[in-house]
């Protein structure tokens, strides 16, 4: 009968222990044989592993998006076209600029070979209120007036100052202007200015302004063809383009008029 002996501290079911190897003493190209390695890659919160070649979303968002050349051209055409339409609407319905072709409004507005002032005309003024005495207005050339040119351009519009309104009686005599029998104060004229009708062949002008018209004259009374000379005398209010209110040229005299 053979006796079986058990060595103290050992378990018959356990396999023999592997011998421990000493740690490496020199550089190594990889972990020791049999050692477990841990990856530094962190999986996304949803547990999905990105496909190969998939770009990070932050990298994609950080890249500037460059519009195509065709898109840029279309945008610029739209901007320029819109600006032209706005400018056309403003010129047609609101404001327009005119240059002074003659000396008839001097010294208020200059118009001679050495200088032609430019003014802005408000086309909306007389849609909001009636014509007022003293206003400087631009109007279409009255019927019967001869064609003329200035600066190589045909003159189609005149610019004068409103002196008398519909229904008023204007009298010009003794070098002064009277409206309904009262001498008209004209602070815009240089001191000593003489107003008479002789420039148009009349010694005295006595005229009642018809309904729907106004009587106009230039500030340069000795060199202005105006209601003293027009065949129709007064001009129709419907022929008025608008009220001149701003001088834009020359820049040294920029401002209201």
pLDDT tens, 52-99? 555 454 554 555 556 688 888 888 888 888 888 777 767 666 899 999
pLDDT of residue 65: 54
What average pLDDT score do residues 164-169 get?
Answer: 98
Tell me the backbone φ, ψ of residue 256, rounded to 5 degrees.
-70, 155
pLDDT given at position 74 = 84
**Whole-number pLDDT of residue 44:** 52
- Rounded mean pLDDT of 106-130? 94
pLDDT in the model for residue 82: 83
Which pLDDT tens digit goes with each residue over 22-43?
Answer: 444 544 455 555 545 444 444 5
Average pLDDT over residues 233-237: 97
Position 151 scores a pLDDT of: 77
Q: Look at 7-16, 94-103, 178-187, 193-202 and tell me which has the smallest mean pLDDT.
A: 7-16
Contact 63, 209 (CB under 8 A): no
Portion of the chain with pLDDT greater than 90, in percent: 56
Which two structure tokens, joined as six digits, stand for 107? Answer: 């010294």
Kindly tell me if the per-residue pLDDT of 104 is higher than 60.
yes
Q: Quote the Cα angle for 36-39-40, to 5°.
A: 140
- Within 10 Å of residue 41's Cβ, how many Cβ atoms? 6
- Return the active site residues: 104, 160
CATH 2.10.109.10 fits 120-242, yes or no: yes
Residue 93 CA to residue 132 CA, distance in Å, equals: 20
Separation CA 84–CA 196 (nearest Å): 47
Q: What is the DSSP letter of 91?
A: I
3-state secondary structure of 224: coil
Identify the weakest region by mean pLDDT among 59-68, 101-110, 164-173, 204-213. Answer: 59-68
Cα 165 to Cα 215: distance, rounded to the nearest angstrom = 7
Q: Is 22 helix (H, G, I), strand (E, B) or coil?
A: coil
């Amino acid at each position: 009968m053979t006796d079986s002996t058990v060595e103290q501290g050992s378990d018959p079911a356990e396999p023999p222990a592997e011998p421990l190897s000493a740690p490496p003493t020199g550089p190594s190209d990889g972990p020791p044989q049999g050692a477990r390695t841990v990856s530094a890659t962190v999986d996304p919160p949803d547990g999905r592993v990105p496909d190969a070649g998939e770009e990070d979303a932050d990298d994609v968002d950080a890249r500037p998006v460059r519009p195509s050349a065709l898109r840029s051209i279309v945008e610029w055409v739209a901007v320029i076209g819109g600006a032209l339409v706005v400018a056309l609407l403003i010129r047609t319905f609101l404001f327009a600029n005119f240059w002074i072709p003659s000396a008839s409004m001097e010294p208020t507005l200059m118009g001679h070979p050495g200088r032609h002032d430019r003014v802005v005309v408000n086309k909306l003024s007389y849609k909001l209120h009636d014509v007022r005495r003293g206003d400087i207005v631009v109007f279409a050339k009255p019927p019967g007036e001869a064609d003329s040119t200035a600066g190589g351009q045909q003159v189609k519009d005149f610019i004068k100052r409103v002196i008398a309104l519909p229904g008023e009686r204007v009298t010009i005599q003794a070098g002064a202007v009277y409206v309904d029998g009262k001498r008209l104060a004209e602070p815009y004229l240089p001191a000593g200015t003489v107003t008479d009708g002789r420039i148009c062949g009349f010694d005295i002008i006595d005229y009642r302004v018809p309904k729907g018209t106004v009587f106009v004259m230039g500030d340069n009374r000795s060199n202005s063809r105006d209601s003293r000379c027009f065949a129709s005398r007064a001009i129709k209010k419907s022929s008025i383009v608008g009220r001149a209110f701003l001088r834009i040229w020359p820049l040294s005299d920029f401002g209201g008029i």
